[in-house]
Chain A
Amino acid sequence: MIQPNLRFKGRSAAVLAILALSLVVVGCAARKQITRIPTDTTTDLSGRWNDTDSREVSDEMIRDCLSGSWIVQHAASTGKRPVAIVGRIQNQTLEHIPTGTFVADLERAMVNSGKVDVVATATERGALRAEKEDQWANASEDTAKRMGLERGADYMLMGTVQSIEDQEGGTKVVFYQVDMTMVDIESNQKVWIGQKKIKKEIRQAHYAP
């Protein structure tokens, strides 16, 4: 028989067996705990784009957009509040980023500020026009809303979300840049440009107990 070099103490074998059994037992245990937390809490779990990033972008964009000179200049030249529409916000990152969250925040802030009017987006317009057509077919004449009276936007909000990722071993750096632009639909002139940059470092240990 092979002698001491390959031998294990009885205790070692038992420890190995206990370890294996523990794994099997631990694998069967499943627990879930749900706690409600404030929506402005910063929660970074996976390092991917999350609600905190979205909130930071909307806070920055709202502050910058509503304090921009373009609103005052438009009012001065036309005597009216500017009318804006949300155009395409392109996600050019490696993540599925729901741009609708911070764009909706920005839309809400513009409307609630009373400084900018916002009209429905191209997608929303389709549903509204279908509803108007339906009203003309089914609603009473005095309540059916007329076609062709939509308010045309003066400006279109466009934007991109881009990211740069760099990784070495267990360290990953992700840089996000959100650029938003308000463009004069008639002249193509860019009247406001907002930008928000976010940088994250995600460290992952190579070994854990």
Chain B
Amino acid sequence: MRSSGRRPFLWIALALITILGAGCATYGAGVQPMLDRLQAGDPQGALAHLEKRPREGDALYQLERGMLLRLAGRFRESNAAFDAADRITEDLYTRSVSRQTVALAVTDRLAPYRPAVYERLLTHQYQARNYLDIADLAGALVEARRMEALLDQFEDARGDRSRPYGSELAYLTSAVIYEAGGQPEDALRMYRRLAARPQESVLPAWAETRMRRLARQTGFDLSHGGGADSSATRSAAEDSSTFTVVLFIDRGLVPLRQEARLDVPILKSEEHDKPETIAPKIGERIGGIRAHELDFSGAEIAYWLAIALPFYSAAPPDPGPIRIDAEGVGVDATRTADIFGMAACALEDDMPGIVLRTVLRALIKYGAQHAAEKHGGELGGILANMLGAATEQAETRAWATLPRDIVMIALDLPRPVRSVQLTPRGSDGLEGAQAIPLVFPAGSRFAFASRRIWP
């Protein structure tokens, strides 16, 4: 009787260990071959690798796919993938109780991927750039409005507006698209909203110049909250005589989330504590272990909880400015969006929730092991322990094909040009100059170009 009663559990445990153990330890390890191909200049090969295991209903899959299709020059398909990611994200408002429960009990990675705020803004930023790459300004204008609507939503919801989540890039991208689309009031509103944000010097010099010019053109007085208009003497004719080139330069790859495995002790003195009492202690203990501040060498340990948490390694160095030359005009453009900074902040913001779920999960697994030991004997206990360890995976998912950072600049030129020259600066000075062809949306004095470079 005893043996037949425990057999189903053992088989299920074995099956789960096999299935889950076959998966990669981290999301990054799984996508690394794809990223290797991408960095080797083979986005089509990277896409083929990704599509070997299609997950149409997964927002993260669609984000990666959208980026790879974009880099392969398949802009319309890329936008379809980004649209799919957006729809999936909207539908995630409805939480599946069963799936959340299983995710809580097994691993966060069984829960559907919810793109972070910065990822949602970047989705529309890349969609806008896809439309610009096919000279569809009307399509880009829709994406600019979507970015603005998301910014409204997020700014209302966020208490601390100084945390980076990609709003600067979204404001600037929307502003130049509105300008190019002949909507100066809307463009000015975006520049002003960015200028009014709490951080200092958040508005790049080129954007400030454009804001002041638009204020003059539309008759808006910037001195009320926007500072004195020091260049008010310039004529309207001068304002309208220029041709504008907007460049988006994506550099490198955003670092991947890593997994830290910790063994958190439950002391003998805590053996009889209730879960709600012991959970906060474990949370604090995790923080102490991560900071190398705790030492349990003399303590009597009842049990070690196996815990996995995501983290980012140290920030990669800033590749420095990029030199841009066209028609005798040359500028050094610096980073506009630090994607790594956004990703790190998003993880930091999520960490309290991640730790709470991890602690609860550890306690559930601990309880399950006890139950398995009791009903399945020593073998049951071992299998339950193995199952717990195999399924304990940190939430290392994040949009991996994003660049390390983005440089954006709008450059005024005296007359139209077909291309601009871009020169990334290496540690030894200038290196690898390359010409970037421009795209001209019909009926606009603006031209656009995007380029992914690998510093």
Contact = CB atoms under 8 A, between A and B. Distances in A.
A93 B99 contact: no
Interface stretch (B61-69, B162-170, B268-276, B312-320): B268-276
Interface in A168-209: 170, 204-209
A6 B105 contact: no
Given A14-B12, A21-B12, A209-B96, A6 B370 contact: yes
Nearest to B96: A208
A148 to B, nearest CB: 25
Contacts of B9: 10, 13-14, 17
B19 interface: yes
Interface string B1-30: 000001011001101100100000000000
A17 B110 contact: no
Contacts of B322: none
B371 A207 contact: no
Interface size bracket, A side: 35 or more
A205 B94 contact: yes
Interface string A1-40: 1110111111011101111110110000000000000000
B382 interface: no
Contact of A10 (B6, B16, B364): B6
A20 B95 contact: no
A204 B273 contact: no
A2 B94 contact: no
Nearest to B145: A94
Main SS of the interface on chain A?
mixed
B93 interface: yes
Contacts of B95: 206-208
B288 interface: no
Nearest to B371: A8
A113 B278 CA distance: 79
Given A6-B367, A95-B142, A206-B95, A21 B271 contact: no
A18 B99 CA distance: 12
A16 B102 contact: yes
Main SS of the interface on chain B?
helix
A207 B364 CA distance: 23
Given A1-B303, A20-B105, A23-B110, A10 B98 contact: no
B15 A21 contact: yes
Contacts of B99: 23
B19 A24 contact: yes
B375 interface: yes
Contacts of B363: 6
Contacts of A167: 153
Contacts of B376: 10
Given A7-B371, A17-B9, A204 B94 contact: yes
Nearest to A14: B9
Given A10-B372, A14-B8, A94-B146, 4 more contacts: A2-B303, A21-B19, A94-B142, A96-B142
5 shortest A-B CB distances, which residue pairs?
A: A10-B375, A13-B368, A8-B367, A8-B371, A17-B12
